[in-house]
Structure 1
Amino acid sequence: MGKLVRLRALEPSDAESLYRWVHDDEVGQWMNSDYPRSLAQLRKRCEERKTNTYEAVVLGIEAVADGKLLGVIDLRDANPQEGRAELDVYLGEKDYWDGGYGTEAVKLLCRYGFNVMRLHLIALWVVAENERARHVYRKIGFVEDGRHRECFRGQDGKYHDMYLMSLLEGELND
């Protein structure tokens, strides 16, 4: 737990927030989207969610002050032989986009990845135009390793470049 957020397992009752976020164009602007889902489908998905494992840790980001669910963060495709995983994060509550909530959530999960999961490298992909996220990642210590051209099709139907960024064990800025 941090000063601003705590990371916790997702609950079936979180479906309403997830539904609202996936239907908000501003929240979903840089997210991979799949087929539209109803609230009932999202509830069922939350109820049937697999338990967290080494390979996939999915957590809700909750505000310490009021207990409100703010977003979702995960480490996926973790591999103990290689000591690496990929990170995904989004904040669905736009009122919390500024103020350090996302930054603290990423730091907490990276610490967990390095200290508990014994990872050596955490990687992520970010759309080149998502400067807000890129700024946060650089502040935390992630470095841009490369650029993949026109590999993300946005909700606007246009293709965008993405950066591969990584953080090595010992590089996390506190």
Structure 2
Amino acid sequence: MKPGKLVRLRPLEPEDTETIWRWHNDDDVTRWLDADYDESLAQLRKRTEDRVRNSYAKAVFGVETLAEGKLIGITALRDATPEVGRAELDVYLGQKDFWNGGYGTDALRTLCAYGFDVMRLHLIALWVVAENEGARACYRKVGFQEDGRHRECFRARDGRYHDMILMSLLEGDLVR
């Protein structure tokens, strides 16, 4: 896979599990992620071992810095179908010291270029919590546009409900 300017995307490795587990136990990192039941390190290791191979339907990648080779996040294209040429995107950076340096934007650009160039997608969509302005601004930098709002459909870990924004990127709209 062609690297970005700051990151490369690579398949996840078993040795990434402890880092990911640490991120999943950080309230700042998981603030806008779907709430899930707590998971032990052993359970996450088992889930990692059982993960199916990357495919057109679901491709999951670690986000690694080019300079240090450090794992800083995870991104995925999922629910892709060749008949429609559409996929949903998931992304988060777990290493907080990389949140404001352009790494997330570069990871998005790199993954979307892969989706359009290699997977031959026509549209990539995502859902983002309305209050997550930083993420929304990042998505707009890459070319995503807001398509709609789903009211009070995300329940945060504190029990409050939030609106979600549907955003999409067409093949020709990617800001490379």
Q: TM-score, normalized by length of structure 2?
A: 0.97
1:2 positional shift: 1.6
Candidates 124, 132, 144, aligned match of 1:130: 132
Candidates 30, 33, 38, aligned match of 1:31: 33
1:131 positional shift: 0.3
1:125 corresponds to which letter in structure 2? W
Other-structure match for 2:161: 159
Distance 2:4 2:100 in 1: 16
Other-structure match for 2:107: 105
1:3 positional shift: 2.2
Matched positions, count: 174
1:73 corresponds to which letter in structure 2? T
Deviations 1:27-46 (A, max 9, x none): 00000021111011111211
Matched, 1:46 2:48: yes
1:142 positional shift: 0.3
1:47 positional shift: 1.8
Other-structure match for 2:7: 5
Q: CA RMSD in A?
A: 0.7
Distance 1:134 1:56 in 2: 23
Q: Which runs of 5+ in 1 are unaligned?
A: none
Q: Which runs of 5+ in 2 are unaligned?
A: none
Distance 1:116 1:63 in 2: 22
Other-structure match for 2:63: 61
Distance 2:86 2:11 in 1: 21
Percent identity reads 67
Kindly report structure 1 stretches of 4+ aligned residues shifted beyond 3 Å: none
